[in-house]
Structure 1
Amino acid sequence: MGQFLSDLAASQPARFGLLVGIGGTVLAVLAWAAIRSAGSRSGPAPWGGAVMVLGALAVMWRYSRVPIGLVVGLALLIAGAMLGRRPWELMVASLPGAAAVVYWGEVGRAIPEPMLVIAIAAAAALVVDFDRSYRGSGAGPALLFLSTVGVLVTVPDTELAMGLAAVALPLGVAGWPLRMVSLGPAAAGAVAILGHLAVAAGSSRPGAAVGVLGALGLMLAEPVGRWLGRRTPSALQELAAGGLGGVFLLGSIHAVLVLGITRFAGLRRDLLPAAIFAIPFLLVGAILGAAPGRPASPAAGRIETGRT
C-alpha cells in the first residue's frame, strides 16, 4: 500500500482521479443524505458505481481518449443492471453493452470477440449481484478498490489504471469503514471500464485480459458459489453482516484472490495458461460463497439486500 500511495502521488492521472473521486463521493453522500432525510429511502447511497464510471471517463478524457463504443456500452450495461433481477436476466441484459465495449471500443483485439463479450457480460452480472447482496455492508466499493489496485500488476500501461485506482480509493473508504455508499446498478459500468482495459491489455498480451477481469476476485466467485449452494444467507454474507471486522475479513479474502490471480494468471502471456492459473483461485472463492450460514430465524443476522 505504501508503494501504491507513493506512485499515486507521482502520477498526474492518479492525482486528478483522486480529486474527481473525492468530489464525486462527497456529492453522492450529501445528495443521498438529503434524500434519506425526507424519509423515502434508507441504507448506503447506491451511486458509488456511477461515481466510478464518471470519474474513469473524466480521467480517460483528460489523459487518453473516450471511445464512443465504451460510452454506449456503459449506458447499455447500466440499463441492463437496472432491468435485470434474477442472475440469468442480468447476464442476458448485459450482453448488448458488453458487445458495444468489445466491438466499438476502438482497441485492437487478440482474443476472440465472442469470448470477450461473454466474459464482460458475465462479470457485470456477477458484480451487480454481489453488490446487491452486500449493499448494507459497503463491501462492494471497498472490494472494487482492491481490484483496481490488483489491475496495476497486470496491465502493460499503468497510467490509466493508476487513475482508475485513485478514483476508487475514496469510494472504497466510503464503503468501508464508513458504510456510506454501495455501487448500485452502475457497478456494471465499472466492470465495463475494466473490460475496456482488459481488451486493450489483451491486444498485446492476451493473458493480461484474464488478470484484469479476474481481479474482480470474490465479486465474481461468491455469487456463483451462493447460487450453486442455494444458501441465503451464506456464511460470507453473515460475516459481512457482523460488523466492520467481518467486512475486513471479507476484503482480506478478496485481496488474497486478487493477488493470486493478477500475479500468477495476469502476468502470463497466453490466454490458456492464464485461465488455468486463475481458475483455482476463483474456485476457492466459489466454495467459500457456497458455505452455508448458521440456521437462524428469518429476522436474525440478515444483511440488507435492497434493490436500487
Structure 2
Amino acid sequence: MSATSDSIERFFRSGLKLSQLRILVSLADLGQVTRVASAFHVTQPAISKQISEIESALGVQVVNRTGNSVELTVIGQVIVACGREVLRHIDLARRDVSALASGTGGHVRLGAVATIPEPLTANAVQLFLRRAPAASLSFVEGTLDRLIKLIEDGDLDIALGRNRVTSTQASLVQETLYREPFVFVTGTSHPLGAPEREPDWRDLDACRWITPLHGSPAYATLIEALNEHGVGPAAGSVESSSLALNLTLLQSGEFVSILPLSVVRQHTLRGTMRVLPLAPLEPLGEVVAYWRADVTVPAAQLFAECLKEVSGELLGD
C-alpha cells in the first residue's frame, strides 16, 4: 500500500465521506473497533470495512491494530485533528439551519466564572432575548481553564472570566468588557463592619477569611497584598469559588473577603455588608469575554454585542 499525490488528491476531493470521518474520530476517542461499532449501532466488520476503504483510497495506513485495540498512525492523527473541526462546523451548520428553519433564531452557549457579577450575565441575557425572542440560551458556571477548554473544543460559544489566558487556539479572541476593583468586605455584624470602626491592615491579621481557591490568580493576588502588610489568613479560613456561599458566609458576620465592587454595591445599600477602607485590588478588576474568531454564529455575535452594551451600563459609564 503506497500513497501517491494523485490518490491523496482524489481522496480529499471526492473519496472521503463524512461517515468515515466520524468513524475515525470515534476510533481516536474510543480506541477499539468493537466500541465504535456499538456507538454506531453497526457490526464490527462494517467498521473494519470502512477503515479498509479509507486506507485503500488514500493508499496508506491510518490505524495500527494491536489485539483488540487500534492506534492512529501519524497520518490518521492529522486526519482526525482536522476532521474534528470539519465535524464541529457541520454541527454548527446543522444547528443554525435547524434553528432558522424552525424560526427559533439560534442557540447560544454561555459560560462564566463564579466572580462575574450576576447583573452582567442576567442583563445581557434579558437584552439578548428581547432582541431575539425566538432564540434560546444555555449557561454553565465553571473554572476558567474548564471554560476555555469547552470553547476550544467547540462546546461553548462565549465565556466570561477575570484573567487573560494562554490558549492553544490561535483563533481565541479575548476582549476586555470593563474593569472594576475588587474591594475588601465584611458583614455589618462583623467586629470590623461597624460604621464607627476605621480598621487598617493590622486588624485583618486576626480575621477568618474567605479566599479564592488556592492556586488561582485571584488567590495569588490576594495573598501577595496581605503579605505586603504582614497579614495572613487565620485558622478556620475558607477557600471557595461559590459566590452564593461567600455572600452567605460574609453576612453571618464571621469572615472577611474580597468581592467585585459591582457585587458589593447592592449589599451595602441593603445594609448587610461594609466595604473596608483599604486599597482595593486593581489587578483583579478586569472582566474578559472569550470566543473563537472562526465561529460566526449570528446568535452568538448578537449576544456578544449585548454583553458589550450591558458592560458599559453596569458601572454607570
TM-score bucket of the superposed structures, by smaller chain: under 0.3
TM-score relative to the length of structure 1 = 0.26
More helix by share: 1
